[in-house]
Chain A
Amino acid sequence: MKWHQVLQAASDLAAATPALANIYGADGFRYAGTSPYVTPALEHQLVADGEDELWAVCTIQFDQWCRTMEDLLASEHQLRLLFHVETQRDYAGMPCWSQYNDGETLASPDRDGAFGRAIRFRMSTLRERYAPNP
């Protein structure tokens, strides 16, 4: 089981990125649904996780809630720079491959004034080795 570490590392990395911090502010990063719906916010959540002989694969979703389309585009560009990479990277000491998976519009800006878009990344890390209880 690695998804909790992957999720935490990905969220920390996003929050530590100046371009994203400028858009969302210090309080704008959180797990989805843990605070009332306000914009701007970058929310993250686990969507799926699996485990086979070698890999602990999980899919994480970022919900981007921005006040302008420009912010939304800059945010998504930055997230893809961080998490859509060709080679293995180190996330908090954990080697991990990450790839953009899919995206979806979350809100119509003419209705509630927010530009919302969700994007998913597939994160693949080596699975945990479980030792039997002594």
Chain B
Amino acid sequence: MLEIGPGRWEGLDGLGEAMLHEIRGEAEDTVLAVVIFFSGEIKTTLSGGRHGRSYVVSRTGRLHVASAPGEAPASLTGNLRNSIGYSLPVWEGWTVSAEVGVGLGTVPSGGAQDPAKTYARRLEWGGAHVTRKTVRVQLADGWITVKAGTVIRILPRPYMEPTAVRVEPEIARMMDRGMAA
């Protein structure tokens, strides 16, 4: 019986390894191009006007229109958008990969909260929490009081998943082109 265990067919193994060496550079370039494209598209998703509740920003006095449930978050400080980034490709055996997401871009300066550690996932997924202290919030048409102990339900403002679904066909094309080169 023909044995095809490891090491027996040195010629074919060698040929396969040589071919993989040959395309290693192209594979890495393609993955890098994909993560740059993907992170740019997430930032695009996080840009533009929204249609939610409007309120006055106490620090600047400017009227801010927040996102409505289901919309991507409105950009107020830009911290979330700036924190979107990508990692450089890394190899594990014959597999090359890179990451895209929150916390891989610019970390907020001046003591502002890092979105990756605080609100990035809550915006994407939604949630519920109890207000710990009574706060006054200025809306466009007046002030409201939110009492301590009020349960606040936050509906999702997804921005990662819609972007992933939107760019998936283009990423598949980029991978095809990269491997065909």
Binding between chains A and B: yes
Question: A residues engaging B (CB < 8 A)?
Answer: 32-33, 37, 45-50, 52, 57-59, 61, 63, 65, 101, 104-108, 111-112, 114, 116, 118, 120
Does B161 interact with chain A (Cβ within 8 Å)?
yes
Nearest chain A CB to B133 CB, angstrom units: 14
- B151: contacting residue among A37, A49, A118, CB under 8 A: A37
Chain B residue with Cβ nearest A57? B165
Q: Report whether A63 and B126 are in contact in the complex, using a CB–CB cutoff of 8 Å.
A: yes
Indicate whether A32 sits within 8 Å of B69 (C-beta atoms), given known contacts A50-B169, A52-B169, A59-B165: yes
Q: Report whether B130 and A45 are in contact in the complex, using a CB–CB cutoff of 8 Å.
A: no
Mask: chain B, 42-80; 1 = CB below 8 Å from A; 0 = not: 000000000000000000000000000110000000000
Say what secondary structure dominates the interface of chain B: mixed
Contact count A vs B, C-beta below 8 Å: 66
Question: B residues engaging A (CB < 8 A)?
Answer: 69-70, 121, 124-130, 151, 153, 155-156, 158, 161-162, 164-166, 168-169
Chain A residue with Cβ nearest B149? A112
Indicate whether A106 sits within 8 Å of B155 (C-beta atoms), given known contacts A47-B161, A47-B162, A50-B165: no
Indicate whether A118 sits within 8 Å of B126 (C-beta atoms), given known contacts A47-B156, A47-B161, A112-B151: yes
**A118 CA to B156 CA in the complex, in Å?**
10
Say what secondary structure dominates the interface of chain A: strand
Q: List the 4 closest A-B pairs by CB distance, nearest first.
A: A48-B162, A37-B153, A104-B125, A50-B165
